[in-house]
Structure 1
Amino acid sequence: MSQYTRLEAREWARENLHGLANVVIPSFSQDLTKLNEKGIRHDVRRCMELGFTGTLLVAETATTLEEYNQFTKWAVDEAKGKLTIIHHAAFNTLEENIQAVQAAEEAGAALVLLSYPANFYPKDSQEIYQYTKAFAESTNLGIVLFPVPLWGFERLHPAAIDPKIIRQLLDDVPNIVAIKAEGGMPLIAGFTECYQLFNDEVIVTTPLEKDAFALGNLVPIQWMGTSNYEMYGDVLPKLFNLMKEGRVEEVYEQYWKLQPARSTIGKFMASSDGAGLVNRMLWKYASWLTGFNGGPLRQPTMKVNSTHMTAIRQALIKSGIEVSNDDDCQFFLGRYQD
């Protein structure tokens, strides 16, 4: 059950959301017929070992509602209250998303990242408001609002979600606790506008480390998430602490060391922008290099090939990240097989 009520959600978030929230992509058995409990529990432990304060349980990997609920239960049990478990509201319809979030709340998830279904094609911004409000009213959990080009809302407003609609939602929906502000990407105005307008009421953040660690030297950033920060091992949690301590020169020194990996992986991600999807296989491979389980993903999935793998491995090494020496073929098996 939720640790707070809808009316207490923003206060809870201010007190409890700090540091970085990465992602855990579910692990599957080799025949892909079921979840891999050992691999999932290993990944949750690895998040804590690396210094993350929360993790998103990725839903865009062809899991059923029942499987995703089991995924949540294992993650909550393994975290034992030491990690904020974040539900990914990324299922097919509003009805499915309501069913999934209510199960996640019961299982012990503490927060929700709100996505919008691929078939959701609002005729105006009020339909975005209505969908978001209906979802929020179905749960006590705090919600991270997520303006980002992935939803295709730019035909309604260049910032993905019109700031006037965000204003209306914050006034009417008390359990919106944070804004993951990527509207208008690659411009940073989506973040800066939300920060200036709304940060006194809810936590406004950018998950893009390329922006956050520069902006965070200018304005306070309480919490960052969610993204595949684990590809850098424990570097970003440590860098976040340096930023909070105001050690600006050290932040920039480490920031620039990461440029080989940042630019290489960014290039591969940009090549898939037109699909409106995140290449979770690529993310999973990069995390495997830094000690996560790895293993196969179900169809449909974007692919990671030998060109990707060689380039990512070498870029991480060049950035000073310690990576596995295992042959890339081992990634498709995973560290814990089921």
Structure 2
Amino acid sequence: MARYHRHEAREWAREHLRGVANVVIPTMTSDFKRLNEKAIRHDVETTIGHGFAGALACSEVAVTPDEYEQFTRVMVEQANGRIFVVHQAVFNTLEDNIEAVKRAEAAGAELVLLGYPPFFYPQSYEDVYNYTRALCDATNLAVMLFPIPTWGFSRLHPSDLPIPLLRRLIDDCPNVVAIKAEGGMPHIMSAIEVHRAFHKEVVISLPIEWEYIPLSQIIPIQFCGTNFSAYYGSALPKIFNLVQEGKFDEATQWFYRLDAARKAFNSVPQGGNGLINRVMWKYESWLQGYNGGPLRHPTARLYSRDMAALRRGQEASGLNPTSDPDEAFFVGRNPE
């Protein structure tokens, strides 16, 4: 259960949403019939060892509601308070998401990343408000709103979740504690507008590392997540600390050092049509010591040309990827 009351959620967030949060993707056993708990625990420990403050329990994979609840419980148990666990609220319907968030709360998650189902097709922002309000009202957990083009709301407004809507939600939902500001990507106007409008009330996250590192040197940003930064190993948490200490020249040198890895990351298919290629993210983190291993079908596939590009990018940036052969990824470090 959350370690705060609903009316204390914003105070909790201001204190605890500091640092960088990555994404943990559940691993299946070799027969694809159940979760590999040992692999999940390995990924939580690696997350902690790399200096992350929190981790998203990824739900956008082929797992059942029972398996997702188990996944969340295992992450929370292994973390044991050393990092916070984030529930990814992207299931099929509002009713499914209300059930899932209640399960996540019971399992010990402390933050909700609120998304929208693929077949939610609002006719107006009043529909978006009603959906979001219903989900926020259904949980005592802190909620992070998430403007991003993924939801298809750009047809309603270029910022995806415009300021008047966010204003209503912040005023009406005391457990809205943060905004993951990716609205209007690839442009940063919406992120800057959201920060300007709301940073005194809720935590503003800039999760994209190539935006976070420069912008955090001119505006205060206490949280960067959830994101793909396991690809960089411990680098982004280190950069976050440098920025917090005002060591901007060192942080900038890290930005340039990561350039080869960043370009490699952006050269391969990270997803499309609103769905992230989670097997690609799994491989990217495996290069830095995470478990790797099976994901249940249907899933995207992983090809040698992309693995080669990602490995070369890490090598060129001095990130020392694993020397294990790529075929070992498909088995994972803790096979069951």
What's the counterpart of residue 14 of structure 2?
14
What's the counterpart of residue 235 of structure 1?
235
What's the counterpart of residue 333 of structure 1?
331
Letter in 2 for 1:311: A
Q: How big is each residue's C-alpha offset from its partner over 1:229-259, in whole Å with a ceiling of 9 and x where there is no partner? A: 1111111111100011111111111101111
Q: For 1:133 and 1:4, how far apart are their aligned partners in 2?
A: 20
Q: For 1:149 and 1:225, how far apart are their aligned partners in 2?
A: 17
Q: Please report the TM-score for the alignment, with normalisation by the length of structure 1.
A: 0.98
What's the counterpart of residue 66 of structure 1?
66
What's the counterpart of residue 75 of structure 2?
75
1:106 CA displacement: 0.9
Q: For 2:193 and 2:263, how far apart are their aligned partners in 1?
A: 26
1:267 CA displacement: 2.7
What's the counterpart of residue 308 of structure 1?
306
Q: For 1:336 and 1:208, how far apart are their aligned partners in 2?
A: 30
Match status 1:172 vs 2:141: no
Unmatched 5+ residue regions in structure 1?
none
Q: For 1:304 and 1:161, how far apart are their aligned partners in 2?
A: 33
Q: How big is each residue's C-alpha offset from its partner over 1:142-177, in whole Å with a ceiling of 9 and x where there is no partner? A: 001000011010000100112110111111011010
Match status 1:264 vs 2:269: no
1:24 CA displacement: 0.3
Q: For 2:317 and 2:302, how far apart are their aligned partners in 1?
A: 21
What's the counterpart of residue 149 of structure 2?
149
Q: For 1:135 and 1:181, how far apart are their aligned partners in 2?
A: 19
Unmatched 5+ residue regions in structure 2?
none
Letter in 1 for 2:163: P
Letter in 2 for 1:76: V
1:269 CA displacement: 4.0
Describe the SS at the equivalent of 1:207. coil
Describe the SS at the equivalent of 1:55. strand
What's the counterpart of residue 285 of structure 2?
287
Q: How big is each residue's C-alpha offset from its partner over 1:214-235, in whole Å with a ceiling of 9 and x where there is no partner? A: 0000011111100121111111
Q: How big is each residue's C-alpha offset from its partner over 1:42-61, in whole Å with a ceiling of 9 and x where there is no partner? A: 00011001100100010011
What's the counterpart of residue 30 of structure 2?
30
1:306 CA displacement: 0.4
Q: For 1:203 and 1:249, how far apart are their aligned partners in 2?
A: 25
Q: For 2:258 and 2:152, how far apart are their aligned partners in 1?
A: 30
Q: For 2:266 and 2:22, how far apart are their aligned partners in 1?
A: 17
Q: How big is each residue's C-alpha offset from its partner over 1:57-95, in whole Å with a ceiling of 9 and x where there is no partner? A: 100111111000000111111001111011111111111
What's the counterpart of residue 184 of structure 2?
184
Q: Please report the TM-score for the alignment, with normalisation by the length of structure 2.
A: 0.98
Letter in 2 for 1:133: R
Q: For 1:285 and 1:9, how far apart are their aligned partners in 2?
A: 35
Q: For 1:329 and 1:92, how far apart are their aligned partners in 2?
A: 34
Letter in 1 for 2:282: K
Q: For 1:190 and 1:256, how far apart are their aligned partners in 2?
A: 25
